[in-house]
Amino acid sequence: MRSVLAPPRRLTRALGWSALAALALNTWWGLWLSPPDVVQGQFVRMLYVHPAVATMCYAGFGLCALASVAWLLPRLRSPRWDRLAVAGAEVGAVFCAATLITGSIWGRASWGVWWTWDARLTLTAILFALSLGYLALRRAVSNPQSRAFVSSLVALLMALTVVVDHYATDWFVTLHQGETLPVPSPTVHGWQLATMLVSFFAFALVFAWLVVHRYRLEALEERYDSEAFTLALQARRSEGEGVQPPPHVVKIAPEPAGQGQDRQPVEVPSR
């Protein structure tokens, strides 16, 4: 798993550039090559953003739930799963917000209103609120073990909401259309189908790039939390002994609370 989630920087950069290139291709095909729709006219171009973004939202929360289940299983328990869970949830929340915004714009064009109390829309809004709660809960709990445990429980509930949200168009009478690409006989063809597939590919690359970076950030935050105190002690001891602390200690060690403004910055000799 380490090789997948902590790939070499060169590979991550390549992933980022590929995502950008795929997004550019999606924009070109979506805005210029794909023809307007007979019924929806130019607004059909939302088809090349909204379904892909919504799918990535589900993927984010699904990833979060799977990683949470892995963390809850004693045999698999590892901080890596918790990092992956928060990465999935945060990226999922971003895509969920994008889903609501793009859906609202499309709704205004198709239905004449920005918002309607439809089961799919309402459940997506609830999912977004749940994800905000999940992220707020993670910020509130300082103990890593407790944080991972309580957030795993909330993640399972989010996964349940994702399932209900996905099948909402089948289970309830909704204004929102059903599945966009029913397999094996999709309802869109030609350039529209090709552009839509490109959009899924492009947003999947963006999703993967964001998850990898968020995972790295979480690992760095954990390292900072665990090492900051030791480094601060090292820095203060060095000051007391009149020895210049190593540059990496000065860079990382936090200022003591309330003293930061009165203190002179420590001069670090250049190497």
Residues that bind another protein (CB under 8 A): 122, 126-127, 129-130, 132-133, 136-137, 140-141, 145-146, 149-150, 153-154, 157, 160
Identify which of residues 128 and 215 has a Cβ nearer to another protein in the complex: 128
The 10 Å CB-count burial string (b at 16+, else e) for 133-151 is ebbeebeeeeeeeebbbbb
User: Cα 257–254–222 angle (5° rounding)?
Assistant: 115
Q: How far is the CB of 258 from another protein (least distance, A)?
A: 19
Q: How far is the CB of 77 from another protein (least distance, A)?
A: 13
Q: Give the tokens for residue 167.
A: 């099948």
Identify which of residues 43 and 172 has a Cβ nearer to another protein in the complex: 172
207 and 91 in contact (C-beta within 8 Å)? yes
Identify which of residues 165 and 198 has a Cβ nearer to another protein in the complex: 165
Identify which of residues 43 and 149 has a Cβ nearer to another protein in the complex: 149
Q: How far is the CB of 185 from another protein (least distance, A)?
A: 31
Identify which of residues 109 and 126 has a Cβ nearer to another protein in the complex: 126
Q: Give the tokens for residue 209.
A: 């790039």
- Indicate the residue type of 152: S
Backbone phi, psi, residue 229, to 5° = -65, -45
The 10 Å CB-count burial string (b at 16+, else e) for 188-200 is beeebeebbbbbb
What is the spatial distance between Cα 271 and Cα 265, in angstroms, rounded to a whole number?
A: 18
What is the spatial distance between Cα 80 and Cα 78, in angstroms, rounded to a whole number?
A: 5
Q: 3-state secondary structure string, 86-113?
A: HHHHHHHHHHHHHHHHHHHHHHHHHHCC
Identify which of residues 142 and 259 has a Cβ nearer to another protein in the complex: 142
